[in-house]
Amino acid sequence: MKMDDMSYSGEEVEDRQRKHWPTAIFGLFGHIGDGNVHIIINVGPDTEDHHLQIDEIIYGLIQELQGAVSAEHGIGLMKKQFLPYSKSAAEIGLMKALKHTMDPRGILNPGRVF
């Protein structure tokens, strides 16, 4: 998502989350230089139990807006399953090929990305 989408996307994330958790607390902030948006959501004492559902709502919107799940430097473990929301099978295949080219024995951060 770009910064000009941040206002819309922030409002839309909040609207979609509030359908499930009307009293949720939100924190949205971004990086002006690269357009990344970070989202912090607390839906109550059981927030951790709803983590996957919260993520599916957020990453579903990212997919609709044709945004990206992660920055150019890679994907974190918590977002790994959502990589296909913003990268095609061909792109992921290329990423895997590049990783294998640079790390044929799979010793650099094993299991972290692929």
Q: Where are the domains of the chain?
A: 1-67, 71-114
Q: HEC states along 5-61? A: HHHHHHHHHHHHHHCCCCCCEEEEEECCCCCCEEEEEECCCCHHHHHHHHHHHHHHH
Q: Tokens standing for 47? A: 């927030």
Say what the pLDDT of residue 3 is: 41
Does the structure show a pLDDT above 80 at 111? Answer: no
Predicted confidence (pLDDT) per residue in 41-65, tens digit? 999 999 999 999 999 998 898 888 8
Name the residue type at position 107: I
Q: Tokens standing for 114? A: 């692929």
Q: Which residue has the tokens 């206002």?
A: 7
Name the residue type at position 46: D
Say what the pLDDT of residue 1 is: 42
Does the structure show a pLDDT above 80 at 7? Answer: no
**Lowest-confidence range among 18-22, 72-76, 108-112?**
72-76
User: If one looks up domain 71-114 in CATH, what number appears?
Assistant: 1.10.45.10
Say what the pLDDT of residue 27 is: 87
> What is the architecture, at CATH level 2, of domain 1-67?
2-Layer Sandwich (3.30)
Beta bridge partners of 41: 26
